[in-house]
Amino acid sequence: MPDRGHSEPGHRGPPLSVSSTDPLADWRLAEEPFYQPVGEEIAGFEAARAARLPVLLKGPTGCGKTRFVEHMAWRLKLPLVTVACHEDLSAGDLAGRWLLDGEGTRWMDGPLALAARHGALCYLDELMEARADTTVLLHPLADTRRALPLERHGELLHAHPDFQLVVSYNPGYQGLHRELKPSTRQRFVALGFDYPEPEVEAAIVAREGGVDAELAMRLVRLAVRTRRLREEGLDEGASTRMLVHAALLHRAGLPVRAAARQSIADPLSDDPQLAPSLRALVDASF
């Protein structure tokens, strides 16, 4: 799913301007995002929503977590504010800051404060990529207090009844160097994600990539082979997103082998031992 644009560091979506009539107008989804359920994740999310509980999505890169959140925002008729977390993202970036313009000094809510104040779904993608102070900021918002301290503004912001907090992270990848602290993790209810069964994944690739079912299944079989290489040192195998990219490149005119190399084998690893193995898998598959 392509990004909706960038403005503030880590923010995905329109610029952080606020309309006086509808502060969340720019974050309302215009059309339903396609999502193929693979279990009881929709019912689980809706139950968490009804209980006003924050949700933690766990799973490998490119398995559909972000698309699921987009689908649920549409399903629940909530505006969606998405923040792509990174190592420079601070608590201040999420909460807000004072700005100086021609009319003087004014406060501007950050994306988390904006969502909490006006009642949106706020999605913090790959939370563990952010600085430690960012996760601490979430604690009072993610428990029964449902409040966000805006210290620079001198305000304790109580979340709108419609506000929903969702975060994601990849336990397999993050476990190599950082873990989500129990004090943070235990404030959330968790939904686990993984790659779908081959038939379901092939149907997703065929629909999203615009290719026939046979080619989609061949791409899925290639992905399954790459995922087995995790035992040989590969950080992660090919994601569903990568397979869709391969299908789109093929539709754009590339031979399928070249498309698979460009979107799967080459992005997965630069390791001098693993990279030739990945290219060999592509050659053997096509």
Q: How many residues does the chain have?
A: 286
Domain contains 89? yes
Domain contains 3? no
Enter the DSSP assignment of 32: P
Q: Are residues 101 and 164 in the same domain?
A: yes
Helix (H) or strand (E) holding 88: none
Q: Are residues 266 and 135 in the same domain?
A: no
State the pLDDT at residue 19.
Answer: 46
CB 115 within 8 A of CB 121: yes
Nearest to 201 by CA among 83, 90, 60: 60
State the pLDDT at residue 119.
Answer: 97
State the pLDDT at residue 179.
Answer: 76
State the pLDDT at residue 175.
Answer: 44
pLDDT in tens, 107-134: 999 999 999 999 999 999 999 888 888 8
Provide Rg for the chain, Cα atoms: 20
Domain contains 6? no
CB 88 within 8 A of CB 133: no
Q: Are residues 19 and 144 in the same domain?
A: yes
Domain contains 236? yes
Q: Are residues 115 and 161 in the same domain?
A: yes
Domain final residue pick, 176, 192, 208 = 192
Encoded tokens for 205: 């690739």
- Which stretches of the chain score pLDDT less than 50? 1-19, 174-176
Between helix 213-227 and helix 240-251 the angle, nearest 10°, is: 140
Q: Around Cβ 82, how many Cβ atoms within 10 Å?
A: 23
Domain final residue pick, 144, 174, 192 = 192
State the pLDDT at residue 181.
Answer: 85
Q: Are residues 204 and 181 in the same domain?
A: no
Residue 174 sits in a domain of what CATH number?
3.40.50.300
Q: Are residues 101 and 219 in the same domain?
A: no
Q: Are residues 30 and 90 in the same domain?
A: yes
Domains in the chain, number: 2
> Cα separation of 16 and 66, whole Å?
20
Domain contains 159? yes
State the pLDDT at residue 176.
Answer: 45
Which domain, by its residues, includes 271? 198-285
- Alpha-carbon distances of 133 from 15, 96, 173, 208, rounded to whole Å: 24, 14, 21, 37
CB 185 within 8 A of CB 54: no
Domain contains 43? yes
State the pLDDT at residue 177.
Answer: 54
Q: Are residues 207 and 77 in the same domain?
A: no
Taking the CA atoms of 5, 9, 11 and 15 in sequence, report the sign of the dihedral they define.
negative
State the pLDDT at residue 18.
Answer: 46
Which residue in this structure is represented by tokens 């993984």?
194
Q: Model-level pTM greater than 0.95?
A: no
E strand segments, 95-202: 96-101, 104-109, 121-125, 147-150, 155-158, 164-169, 189-192
Q: Are residues 164 and 279 in the same domain?
A: no
State the pLDDT at residue 178.
Answer: 66
Q: Are residues 163 and 239 in the same domain?
A: no
